Structure 1
Amino acid sequence: MERSLKNILVLSFGFLLLFTAYWGLQTLQVGVILPFECLWDSKNSPSFSLNGGKSGEPEAPHARVSFLRYTLIPTSILLGLGAAPLWSAQGTYLTIMGNTHAEKRGKVRRDVVSQYFGIFFLIYQSSGVFGNLISSLVFGQTPAQGAIPEKQLLHCGASDCLMATASTNSTNRPSQELIYTLLGIYTGTGFLGILLTAVFLKPVRDTQQKSEGEKQASPFWSTLLSTVKLFRDKRLCLLVLLPLYSGFQQAFLAGDYTRSYITCALGIQFVGYVMICFSAVNALCSVLYGKLAQYTGRTALFALGALIHLSCITGLLLWKPHPRQLPLFFVFPGLWGAADAVWQTQNNALFGVLFEKNKEAAFASYRLWEALGFVIAFGYSMFLCVSVKLYVLLGVLSLAMAAYGTVEYLGSKKVARLLTEEQTKPAEEGVTKTKT
């Protein structure tokens, strides 16, 4: 097995084990996670940030199971502090590995990087499958709820204005024994993920930066300054809408869809099984898009993701959820996962390719804006009707696609100008020689 592929698999399975607990608990309890995005210098050894950032993750499940603010808020801060360097280093690591492999094999960099992100998200998104499956099996031992009254069903779906969380649609509270069993399983998988990456993940250096004469790591403030300076690039200013929308749409599915559609009309015991569908489709589409990108180009995939989400948003606005329509509760998360796979794989690949010389700063900015999308979406979650939130999603999606199209247009103009200059150079040189 090639060294690069081995490292990608180690990294991917490390994230799989670590986030099994995270995704399992997120669908059971929707809390506001405060993403304190710090800028982490991972130029010399991204694997150091990967292992260091994970240290705060396994502790999160124990505090998040409580609904008390004095445990949720500190744990959310700890989670955000750990997630910032973790995800920035992950994006940098995959990009460096993809570029290195492409240079050795004589392949196109963007295709290899896209393929590596596809492999990563195939395995990583499986954490949602296993996390929700574990919670569903453990909590499935609690008594089932009774039939949901028709009167309550009228307030489910897009018409939910914070009225759908009545006590009639909740299951009995799981026993303390089941709760501790679940937390024990999740904590074990988290520590296994840390151990796997700490032992087997090899650090890498950016050969391009090394060839440019960079011999030592830049200090933190240098990385911070480079991130700020990167906003002078108008492409980044336009592209920040993509991670912002990514945060919005993930928050809607994890918070509003699970509460106002699944829990309201079916009951909380179905949440885990429905979200398994989302994670499974997301994982399969991630690896599929990673391979398709070299044939279709990223623009076609972005258009596909936008079209799927546009259709889903329209459908959720019109749909009146009812227990008799059980397949539809799985169809929407499946389609949502197919579109989310575009945002996860292609967004990361796009930032890695366009800002190759400033990868750390670009990925730090990416995670900052994605986290901001989460904060805003969860922030207005308790104040707006679901229909209004869907219209907000529609507006942000439209703006993000328009901005992305502008970046692609500017890029194509630049390529055309360079080609024209290359073609005119030989002609001008020929005329000069003739005159002499």
Structure 2
Amino acid sequence: MADWRTFNVVVLGVGFLFVFTAFTTCGNIEQTVVKSLRNDTFTGSGYHSLGIIYGVFSLSNLAAPAVVSVAGPKVTMFVSGLLYSGYVAVFIEPSTWSFYLTSVLIGVGAAMLWTAQGQFLVENSDASTINRNTGMFWALLQCSMLFGNLYIYLEWNGRTEIPDSSRKTIFLSLLVASIVGTLCFLALRRTRLFEEEMLSEDEGQALLSTHMVYKHRANTAIEEVKADFKTMLQLVKSRNILLLSPCMAYSGLELSFYSGVYGTCLGATAQFGQAAKGLIGISGMVLGVGEIIGGGLFGLVCKNNRFRRTSVVFLGMVVHFVAFYLIFLNIPEDAPVVFGTTTTKSPFLTPSMSIALLCSFLLGLGDSCFNTQLYSILGCIYAEQSTPAFAIFKFVQSVFAAVAFFYSGDTLLTWQLLLMVVLGFNGTLCFFVAERMHDADATSTQTLE
């Protein structure tokens, strides 16, 4: 059983690697591509599309536990992967209506995918393996930021404009990657014995028909859904969720920044010259390296859970604040909001590609600090209520990511950075309090026993 659980975690990570090779690369270059497409027939906005995705994502999280309970994590992730593939395919022959329609659909799919992933990961872990499995999954997931962005760098380096032929080639390749990742979900194995899901009319009688089995599962799932929804309502008001919410919210703001805004800023900085467009790809790769190092180091090397969580979150805050300060000095403040393809406004320093890439690495490293620890603490506190707990996490995160994407196109870089600093500090402080209270509860429980 332990071997099958490890197999499941690896396959899960590989599937997400391929799917998000397509999606994260798409999000990283989306606004830049959309700017090159604007004409009489296409008027979409990359920021608005990403805002719609995360807005629908947040609302769909309320229904996600129901879908996962009825369909199961494996089927849910497969169908969700198909929706991701449809979104990537739109960029091959883009139109405004299909661009925004698939933005809605992928928002639904994302909620189902991440809720199913959280449940599946917890089902294949126990108290002794949750940190290892979380780190393993996170490292595999973040490898997705390497390959697609490397292709972007090789394809766009030295270009000042993005021709249609280059766009079609890139998104065809990303579509293939997304489909391969989706197919990986079909290789996942059951974590519960198949016999537990079957019914028999009486002893010695053959198993019921497949139709009756799934009817029974659906009826059972409905009861589970009702229980999960009640649990979600209870958890939303619980002390631990309330304390962790600011940290979840911050993870949404910085997600929108590193996945959509920062790459656009680099591509819009005229002082980088012909390297600006290619810098988007290399920045995504370096950001992915930071994510991988963080996921591997904090998930696989560190063994002391309680010490690690508080220390790593504090490290993530410091790393992000250093990155924000350097970005403030190195990037023009109007880079996210410029209406043309580039801005010629000068920042405090002469824009440096070395500093820009250092900031990319720090953004990735800091993001892995916050996310791995949020997964870890939720997995420990709510091991028996993983589906509603992870649904709440993704709901809060995606609401704030959606809000950030909608204001990113109209807010100067300085104010975006300041908002993240304020929320990041408060989120870290609240995480410390939540961890301390969890330790106190665990200690008192052991004392009573």
TM over 0.5: yes
Alignment of 1:24-423 (within 5 A): 24-30=25-31, 31=46, 32=48, 33=50, 34=52, 35=54, 36-37=56-57, 38=60, 39-41=64-66, 42-43=68-69, 45-64=72-91, 69-99=96-126, 109=127, 111-140=128-157, 144=158, 171-174=160-163, 176-198=164-186, 200-205=187-192, 216-219=220-223, 220-264=225-269, 265-266=271-272, 267-295=276-304, 296-319=307-330, 320=347, 325-421=352-448
Going from structure 1 to structure 2, the CA distance change for 1:340 and 1:231 (only over 3 Å counts) comes to same
C-alpha separation in 2, matches of 1:323 and 1:134: 28
TM-superposed CA distance for 1:342, in Å, is 1.2
C-alpha separation in 1, matches of 2:394 and 2:428: 19
C-alpha separation in 1, matches of 2:400 and 2:253: 5
Going from structure 1 to structure 2, the CA distance change for 1:54 and 1:255 (only over 3 Å counts) comes to closer
Q: SS at the partner of 1:172?
A: coil
Would the aligned equivalents of 2:156 and 2:277 in 1 still touch at CA under 8 Å? no
TM-superposed CA distance for 1:412, in Å, is 3.0
Deviations 1:317-347 (A, max 9, x none): 3344767622111111111111111122221
What is the root-mean-square deviation of aligned Cα atoms in Å? 2.6
Aligned to 2:213: none
C-alpha separation in 2, matches of 1:275 and 1:114: 26
Q: Aligned partner of 1:307: which letter?
A: V
Deviations 1:173-204 (A, max 9, x none): 32x32222222211111111111221x11132
TM-score scaled by length of structure 1: 0.80
Q: Aligned partner of 1:24: which letter?
A: T
TM-superposed CA distance for 1:370, in Å, is 1.1
Deviations 1:142-191 (A, max 9, x none): xx35xxxxxxxxxxxxxxxxxxxxxxxxx2232x3222222221111111
TM-superposed CA distance for 1:97, in Å, is 0.8
Deviations 1:62-96 (A, max 9, x none): 32467754232211101101111101111111111
Deviations 1:215-271 (A, max 9, x none): 943444443332222213111112122221111002112333223345314222211
Q: SS at the partner of 1:240?
A: helix
Going from structure 1 to structure 2, the CA distance change for 1:311 and 1:206 (only over 3 Å counts) comes to farther
Would the aligned equivalents of 1:121 and 1:286 in 2 still touch at CA under 8 Å? yes
For this pair of structures, how many residues does the alignment match?
378
Going from structure 1 to structure 2, the CA distance change for 1:223 and 1:336 (only over 3 Å counts) comes to same
Q: SS at the partner of 1:383?
A: coil
Going from structure 1 to structure 2, the CA distance change for 1:122 and 1:401 (only over 3 Å counts) comes to same
Deviations 1:340-360 (A, max 9, x none): 111222211211111112110
Going from structure 1 to structure 2, the CA distance change for 1:355 and 1:419 (only over 3 Å counts) comes to closer
Going from structure 1 to structure 2, the CA distance change for 1:313 and 1:322 (only over 3 Å counts) comes to closer
C-alpha separation in 1, matches of 2:432 and 2:91: 40
TM-superposed CA distance for 1:390, in Å, is 0.7
C-alpha separation in 2, matches of 1:366 and 1:81: 16
C-alpha separation in 1, matches of 2:16 and 2:440: 39
Would the aligned equivalents of 2:91 and 2:171 in 1 still touch at CA under 8 Å? no
Would the aligned equivalents of 2:324 and 2:417 in 1 still touch at CA under 8 Å? yes
Aligned to 2:21: 20
TM-score scaled by length of structure 2: 0.78
C-alpha separation in 1, matches of 2:11 and 2:348: 41
Gapped regions of structure 1 (runs ≥ 5): 100-108, 146-170, 423-436
Q: Aligned partner of 2:162: which letter?
A: R
Q: SS at the partner of 2:30?
A: coil
Going from structure 1 to structure 2, the CA distance change for 1:16 and 1:313 (only over 3 Å counts) comes to same
Q: SS at the partner of 1:204?
A: coil
With 319-328 and 405-414 compared, the bigger mean Cα shift is at: 319-328
Q: Aligned partner of 1:204: which letter?
A: T
With 399-408 and 64-73 compared, the bigger mean Cα shift is at: 64-73
